[in-house]
Amino acid sequence: MTPSQARAFLAVALNGSFSAAARSLGISQPTVTNQIKQIELRHEIELFDRGGRRASLTPVGEGLLPFVQRMFRSFEDAGAYLDEIQGTRRGHLRVGSYGPYDVMKLLARYHSIFPTVLISVDFSNSNNLTEKLINSEIDIAVLEHIKHQQDFHALPFRNPPLVMITPRTAPWIGRQSISLATLGTKTIICREPGSAARAAHDRLFARSKIVPSRIVQFASREGVVNAVAEGMGIGTIFDEGILPDDRVMKLRIAGPVIYAKVDIVCLADRKSNKLIRSFIETAQAMLKEDKH
Q: Which residues contact 104 (CB under 8 A, 6 or more apart)?
A: none
- How would you classify the pairing of strands 162-167 and 248-253? antiparallel
The per-residue pLDDT for 43 is: 92
Name which of 125, 159, 148 is nearest 261 in CA terms: 159
Average pLDDT over residues 60-80: 83
pLDDT at residue 87 greater than cutoff 50: no
In this structure, which topology does domain 3-68 adopt according to CATH?
Answer: Arc Repressor Mutant, subunit A (1.10.10)
Helix (H) or strand (E) holding 262: strand 262-267
What are the structural domain ranges in the chain? 3-68, 89-156+262-291, 162-253
What DSSP character marks residue 161? B
pLDDT at residue 202 greater than cutoff 80: yes
Q: How far is residue 124's CA from residue 54's CA, in Å, rounded to a whole number?
A: 24
pLDDT at residue 85 greater than cutoff 60: no
Average pLDDT over residues 217-225: 90
Q: Which residue has the higher pLDDT, 184 or 15?
A: 15
Of 23-32, 72-81, 252-261, 282-291, least confident by mean pLDDT is 72-81
The per-residue pLDDT for 18 is: 92
Domain 162-253 classification at class level = alpha beta
The per-residue pLDDT for 164 is: 93
Neighbours of 3 (CB within 10 A): 10
pLDDT at residue 121 greater than cutoff 70: yes
Q: How far is residue 201's CA from residue 161's CA, in Å, rounded to a whole number?
A: 11
Per residue in 238-247, pLDDT tens?
887 777 778 9
pTM: 0.60
Kindly list the strands in the beta sheet with 234-238, ordered across the sheet, starting from the edge strand earlier in the chain.
177-178, 248-253, 162-167, 234-238, 187-191, 214-218
Q: Which residue has the higher pLDDT, 85 or 270?
A: 270
pLDDT at residue 42 greater than cutoff 80: yes
Q: How far is residue 261's CA from residue 179's CA, in Å, rounded to a whole number?
A: 24
pLDDT at residue 192 greater than cutoff 60: yes
The per-residue pLDDT for 272 is: 86
pLDDT at residue 212 greater than cutoff 90: no
The per-residue pLDDT for 125 is: 81
Q: Which residue has the higher pLDDT, 51 or 175?
A: 175
pLDDT at residue 264 greater than cutoff 80: yes
Q: Tell me the residue type at 202.
A: D
Per residue in 92-115, pLDDT tens?
899 999 877 768 889 999 999 888
pLDDT at residue 228 greater than cutoff 50: yes
Confidence of residue 80 (pLDDT cuts 50, 70, 90): low
Q: How far is residue 10's CA from residue 241's CA, in Å, rounded to a whole number?
A: 40
Averaged confidence pLDDT in the chain: 86
Q: How far is residue 115's CA from residue 94's CA, in Å, rounded to a whole number?
A: 15
Per residue in 150-173, pLDDT tens?
789 999 988 888 999 999 998 888
Contact 155, 209 (CB under 8 A): no
Average pLDDT over residues 125-144: 88
Q: Across the strands, what pairs with 238?
A: 162
CATH 3.50.50.60 for domain 89-156+262-291, yes or no, is: no
CATH fold match for the domains 89-156+262-291 and 162-253: yes
Contact 78, 53 (CB under 8 A): no
Q: Which residues contact 160 (CB under 8 A, 6 or more apart)?
A: 238, 239, 240, 259, 260, 262
pLDDT at residue 24 greater than cutoff 90: no
The per-residue pLDDT for 57 is: 92
Q: Which residue has the higher pLDDT, 224 or 145?
A: 224
> What's phi and psi for 258, nearest 5 deg?
-100, 125
